[in-house]
Structure 1
């Protein structure tokens, strides 16, 4: 590793550059007043991006961290209404949309679960508030100042669970003393309608009220109507300068996510071949873009086995829906003193989830409430002697109540659970200015997480006892429909503690048994960890900086309602980074480079598989260690005053150093693309995926964009185009060959026209010109061994009109 870092440092010195901040392709970005004045003196130049990633206001070119930034205007013009569209803007980011939320990976660090017992690896922060549940990341992408994506562990300044990085969604704040606003309306194919508006109302010279809202609705991308969008959101903010040194901002927001929801389509199924000892993949006879509810998809479904039930599957007899509500209230109190600024952020967020999903080609019914409240306080001072400092603390409390009913046809699960988390974390960071060009940075955070889990789980399984030619055969056995409780099943369900009961239809035995298993959990655990950051920053020239850092991250342990896997430990990551960033040629060229080496230990990975009692359940376990390294280079060139060209290249080498887990022996080897060996003494299989690349880790990612402005009198015609190549990568836990998405290009284009002052504009756009609908999420239905996937959005096109005042 040392030789690799030395090579990267040498490269950074030869190619001075970056914290890897970039705007969306071809878009204007927030202007730093100092740089604006400099650009005016030197003629046209690249605008500066202002960020608060290090809890202070600064140019991204002066922030010695790995960061990508997309400004709000770019998100609006790109029609970004949900987090997964950020994939197009940030090469290091991979967000997999599912029926219940977003799975977020940064350079392969993430997790394949949205269950209540697992925390995300990337911290999602909305308006400075950590959002604990991935389901709560919807309904916030409107009227934004910018989105910051920090890559790598954020172990000191940020809240919980940021081993992979952090995503900061920052709304546009009220502007005191100003009456202004904006609005936009776009319409496109799939009957897509996106409306956004905001108004800023002055309340004297020292206050303002800002009201903003968004409505997004379109038909489903799949032929069965799934993977649609139906979002309505509203945000209200009030900001006032109560005294020369005291400013208070209050905010409240609500979003409703309706419609059918994201769903999957069939890719094929696996059948075990005893003579060869291998699984054979049979591609589906229906396009994945059908979804799972079209007549053609249902006809394919009933050709597949229902596993131990000894018969074929029934059609999927459900009507999926979602009616999820998200509420939030938060404040920001800033008090400026002669020695620094005190910032206090109280916050409350509440989610009420009600949905029926076809997430894995089976029914999942869920009623859940998530409530969190937090209080963060920071005190920051600049240049006390030679030292800048930030000290503070975060208190976070979360309670989840969930009632879940799942049916995989041959099995069913009915569970209710309560999860409570209380976390406290004091932190501090110091920057020592050795002189005007060299700075040393040190930071530390101590986190204590206390968790409680209590719940009951009732499981049912249908197992055929009849054999024909050695094959379980019970064609008349019933299967589990989706029901909220065992009492709603169309056949008698055994009482707790009862032995397996013969299944009958109309009083006639079917040859199958109905087996009930009950589980009660009541557990507590406490995890504690200190994380740190150390860095050195060196100004090579006025607009050139070189930096190197080491930072650690920690993600708390937790629970699994699974026999043999009841708890799991924290995971840890250490990240080494060297980088350079600068501007050349009168601020017209930006060249940035970052080299990174991450060591990931006790990696938490979630999967749906049998526990040691043989019950299919979601298991989170510490099963891996990995090494992640690479280089990212970003460049922006203002070739002429009206021509902007930009590009970003990431090379990523992610590899499992160890990756082992056990699978209960159910009579056949486990379905996996890794090596598995039978442990006869323990009656289980040991699975080893060492040497495999990390999940969602394409080796190469390219972003290329260009924008040309043509002045026509007092009007501007702006043509822009961008394309992204994302290399092949594994999308699912099992490392099956069919779960490896191919490398693909996706391109977008737009033409807009309006006055040079930007008071209004009209635009036409097309996205995913190639119409590549490659998979973005892949999983297996664990009973029938059916492979399903969520597909990328197809080609979309439309027009947009916008105004501002």
Structure 2
């Protein structure tokens, strides 16, 4: 535990008794029970806003999982990637440039700025456009809502696969309170967070929240570490009986080395011949054995060896300011949410085994206005308008043996949407719901990409052989190349080393796009019927559409891509039985996914390596999810969440440039001459789509006079699934189990507690994503965290 971390944790705990001592009068309002707690009268209700209105999660006729802030705190979740262990439909792959999020096979494979997320991430009611900007927000939360399926009506920008709504705890008006939690575990793991709520009269409050999360690398090369600081400041006031205003500001800094990867091995030819690396999982590509493995590779296009990877780092800052203004007009409630978010990324990472650096600034402004009208006869309604403006300025560089790129792209997006939703109360038990949204997306793109290619002119037995030629270094200016480089593009010069010819050419092939436009628009809709079968039982059925706008790629032949769409059919029931002690929710779904966007590392039609997006095909996703909780006794709670998923690629074909044969587990139609390869993966399962996902949990409370011991455990089973774009045999992960346990002791009033925990008891490093390392045939994988354990102390006032 570092000195700075220790001082931070000590400061948080020091603030709590200060508040308690200052509390001369009792609080004007009692703190409500923690969401998700199990009172003796039965299972607690969890209030959600998934439909932009406050209601019980059991009355929200939409597929969702809800994770109360208390559960997140006790689970030690400080980053979005841990959510996948609690929600069967969700799969999150942490990478060294952000998180790849999938819901039932719908998601993204890369985090390049040219691709919008398929799963919307909404923080404090604000859509966050970049998946790289979802760090440093998991502290002092009220709850997290995970919505499954298209979000084409009420949420920010459209999303095809679902949404993750992260809702911070808001200031409590007229209340003086605080809490703090500090934990320490193996890998030098420090988790500390806390909040202070200060009253400003009876109708106002400010809330300050702080968080510190750090641990050493889970890989022996030091990667897959964490070093995050975050803070949030909120002011909330009820200015008049009808007008409430809340203003919030937050920041986060993410340092360290970032997520790490391991070498799985190398392919020869088109993927039929695979040689394992022999390097144990958990080593990392920057370890001496990893670097030796890479530099021992003979790079076929040159006939010489690859260079070692440069050292990784990340220095990323995130800021945000937003407000929520709520005004009761007498005929309805108007809610206005203006917001600004900014991120500055500066990192060096390995995209596969390819060195990749990025300095990027993301600026986004958004404005949302919603009006929830009072019921007029049997009808209530919501109307809204949404505006989103984003500018991304990036400076990226990557290199792959004999090819290197330096790119300066600028992406601009303006998005407008109007939406409405109407509910017709046919009777006290039957409701018909209809909603529609119209979205207009206007995008602009420009870039200047400098490309350096070294072409070997000397061959031996038909193979390139110029071992004296250099490989292309990572560069942000041609002067850094260290060899002759043409002043203009296209151009070619011979390469000399120490005055001697190398038998290779230095080729310059730049790409310039100047303010290219791309406009798209789409209406989306939702229709549903809801029926209250009994006071605590509801059935519902719906059809909803979603849309994700198109965009740009710096890749010859794939300069633009078109929007994708999804149509979801859902039928479900939500029930409480036996005096509110048994909860049983069942959801059946069919999703038709069309014009599917897939962003990946590949070879474009100029036979150059690039990140680009293609509209690859369509898929059919169907299944059933069953969520149950049973309060066996007032002190014994068990739960299960089971999902069966049948997700299949119906028509999944794409092109790759001529030259190097594609390494893939799919069918390939061989190109001839300059003709591209056609890859066909139709009929295969969708990505990150285990057929079975089983979650089981149990909690036993043992009362000891005025104290209690709480024993809890949970486990998750996932059947086999593909985790890589190429559908290689090595990208198929077999069935896995992951189990966690905890013991907690404290007084019955929950004023403080001390807990010991262990996560991933099996100590498995489960592969979570796999990708090819460019044209060298290397295959790498990222894995889950190993077994971790520690203690946590929490106090509340």
> Does the aligned pair in 1 maintain the 2:752–2:795 contact within 8 Å?
yes
Structure 2 distance, partners of 1:167, 1:738, is 30
Moved more, 294-303 or 706-715: 294-303
What CA deviation, in whole Å up to 9, does each residue of 1:783-804 have, x standing for no partner?
Answer: 2110011110000000000100
Structure 1 distance, partners of 2:63, 2:620, is 18
- Match 1:304 to one of 275, 297, 300: 297
> Per-residue deviation at 1:471?
2.1
- Asked if 1:716 corresponds to 2:708, the answer is yes
- Match 1:122 to one of 119, 122, 127: 119
Structure 2 distance, partners of 1:488, 1:474, is 21
Structure 1 distance, partners of 2:34, 2:596, is 37
1:282 is matched with: 275
SS of equivalent residue, structure 2 residue 404: strand
Alignment of 1:149-228 (within 5 A): 149-228=146-225
- Match 2:252 to one of 236, 245, 255: 255
> Does the aligned pair in 2 maintain the 1:29–1:49 contact within 8 Å?
no
1:689 is matched with: 681
Structure 2 distance, partners of 1:335, 1:261, is 44
> Does the aligned pair in 2 maintain the 1:31–1:49 contact within 8 Å?
yes
> Does the aligned pair in 1 maintain the 2:490–2:509 contact within 8 Å?
no
> Does the aligned pair in 2 maintain the 1:208–1:240 contact within 8 Å?
yes
Structure 2 distance, partners of 1:401, 1:87, is 31
> Does the aligned pair in 1 maintain the 2:697–2:713 contact within 8 Å?
yes
- Match 2:131 to one of 128, 134, 139: 134
- Match 2:623 to one of 623, 630, 633: 630
> Does the aligned pair in 2 maintain the 1:264–1:359 contact within 8 Å?
no
- Match 2:51 to one of 45, 54, 61: 54
Structure 1 distance, partners of 2:305, 2:207, is 57
The total of aligned residue pairs comes to: 764
2:576 is matched with: 583
Structure 1 distance, partners of 2:300, 2:261, is 20
- Match 2:587 to one of 594, 599, 612: 594
Structure 1 distance, partners of 2:86, 2:294, is 37
Structure 1 distance, partners of 2:278, 2:702, is 50
- Asked if 1:476 corresponds to 2:468, the answer is yes
> Per-residue deviation at 1:29?
5.4
What CA deviation, in whole Å up to 9, does each residue of 1:418-448 have, x standing for no partner?
Answer: 1110000000000100000000000000000
Structure 2 distance, partners of 1:295, 1:125, is 41
1:676 is matched with: 668
1:384 is matched with: 376
1:106 is matched with: 103
- Match 2:343 to one of 351, 356, 379: 351
Superposed CA RMSD in Å reads 1.3
What CA deviation, in whole Å up to 9, does each residue of 1:268-322 have, x standing for no partner?
Answer: 01011xxxx7630000021231111111111111222323122121222x12111
Structure 1 distance, partners of 2:598, 2:728, is 16
> Does the aligned pair in 2 maintain the 1:195–1:215 contact within 8 Å?
yes
What CA deviation, in whole Å up to 9, does each residue of 1:628-649 have, x standing for no partner?
Answer: 0000001100001100000010
Q: Which of 1 and 2 has higher RCO (CA within 8 Å, sep 6+)?
A: 1
What CA deviation, in whole Å up to 9, does each residue of 1:95-145 have, x standing for no partner?
Answer: 111111111110000111211111000110000000000011001000000
- Asked if 1:438 corresponds to 2:435, the answer is no
> Per-residue deviation at 1:608?
1.2
2:526 is matched with: 533
What CA deviation, in whole Å up to 9, does each residue of 1:661-699 have, x standing for no partner?
Answer: 111220x53111100012438622111110011111111
- Asked if 1:245 corresponds to 2:242, the answer is yes
> Does the aligned pair in 1 maintain the 2:281–2:765 contact within 8 Å?
no
- Asked if 1:269 corresponds to 2:266, the answer is yes
Structure 2 distance, partners of 1:250, 1:761, is 32
> Does the aligned pair in 1 maintain the 2:484–2:506 contact within 8 Å?
no
Unaligned runs of 5+ residues in structure 2 are 1-32
Structure 1 distance, partners of 2:478, 2:77, is 42
> Does the aligned pair in 2 maintain the 1:67–1:150 contact within 8 Å?
yes
Structure 2 distance, partners of 1:358, 1:61, is 44
Q: Which runs of 4+ in 1 moved over 3 A?
A: 679-682
Moved more, 400-409 or 435-444: 400-409
Structure 2 distance, partners of 1:29, 1:445, is 35
> Per-residue deviation at 1:740?
1.2
2:606 is matched with: 613
- Asked if 1:415 corresponds to 2:379, the answer is no
What CA deviation, in whole Å up to 9, does each residue of 1:370-416 have, x standing for no partner?
Answer: 00001000000242211121101100000010011112232111000
What CA deviation, in whole Å up to 9, does each residue of 1:704-754 have, x standing for no partner?
Answer: 000000000100100000000112111111111111122200000000000
SS of equivalent residue, structure 1 residue 173: coil
Structure 1 distance, partners of 2:407, 2:36, is 52
1:553 is matched with: 546
Structure 1 distance, partners of 2:86, 2:93, is 15
Structure 2 distance, partners of 1:537, 1:307, is 62
- Asked if 1:648 corresponds to 2:637, the answer is no
SS of equivalent residue, structure 1 residue 62: coil
> Does the aligned pair in 1 maintain the 2:491–2:509 contact within 8 Å?
no
What CA deviation, in whole Å up to 9, does each residue of 1:185-212 have, x standing for no partner?
Answer: 0000000101101000000000000000
> Does the aligned pair in 2 maintain the 1:285–1:300 contact within 8 Å?
no
Structure 2 distance, partners of 1:436, 1:245, is 29
- Match 1:291 to one of 278, 284, 287: 284
What CA deviation, in whole Å up to 9, does each residue of 1:501-538 have, x standing for no partner?
Answer: 22221111222222211000121011000000000001
1:639 is matched with: 632
SS of equivalent residue, structure 1 residue 298: helix
2:735 is matched with: 743
The two structures have a TM-score, normalised by structure 1, of: 0.93
